[in-house]
Amino acid sequence: NLWHSTTHRYGSPTHAQYYGVEGTFTYNLSATTPGNLQSPSISLAGFTTPIALSFNYFLDAEPGFDDASVLVSADGGGTWTRVYDMLPLTWVFVNQTIGISAYAGKDILLRFNFNTFDSIANAYEGWYVDDVKITASVGPPISKVYRNNGNGTFTDIGAGLPGISGG
């Protein structure tokens, strides 16, 4: 799994999670390279719909072949549902917001998944993810914001969500 913290690029200072090889800034290992960045359990108890997951990302990958997707599990990782499939290539940091209201009141896991599916044409820079946030627009003020610690983990700086770590 190539996910790790980097200072090479980030959405907000000074770190982001990166899927790629530090130094060469590609994910070219002459092999298929799947990997995921997965959160610990996040409770959406008390969240009122609509609920949104947002994050900043930079993506440079093989168009039409490599997969950068976001998945959610509501059963502890037993099954995963793609909530966003094949993020568009960006080459700059952009914000992506995904509705996750279907998970209101549940404990969820988030997974940022990357897969090359083959060992060729993998000399692209890869995927950076930063500023992961879950918000609810209605009801009690709930906004969960994560700070990148720069060591492969995120710390909740909102109201009690656990951090995200590479895995």
151 sits in the region (left: phi over 0; alpha: psi -120 to 50; else beta) called alpha
Strand 107-115 and strand 94-99: the pairing is unpaired
Q: What is the pTM of this model?
A: 0.82
91 sits in the region (left: phi over 0; alpha: psi -120 to 50; else beta) called left
In the chain, what percentage of residues exceed pLDDT 90? 72
- Residue 132: what pLDDT? 95
Which of 30-39, 113-122, 129-138 shows the lowest mean pLDDT across its residues? Answer: 129-138
pLDDT bin (cut points 50, 70, 90) of residue 136 is confident
Judged against a pLDDT cut of 80, whether residue 79 lies above it is answered with yes
Distance CA 100, CA 74 (A): 11
pLDDT bin (cut points 50, 70, 90) of residue 85 is confident
- Residue 46: what pLDDT? 85
Cβ neighbours of residue 141 closer than 8 Å, sequence gap 6 or more? none
- Residue 87: what pLDDT? 75
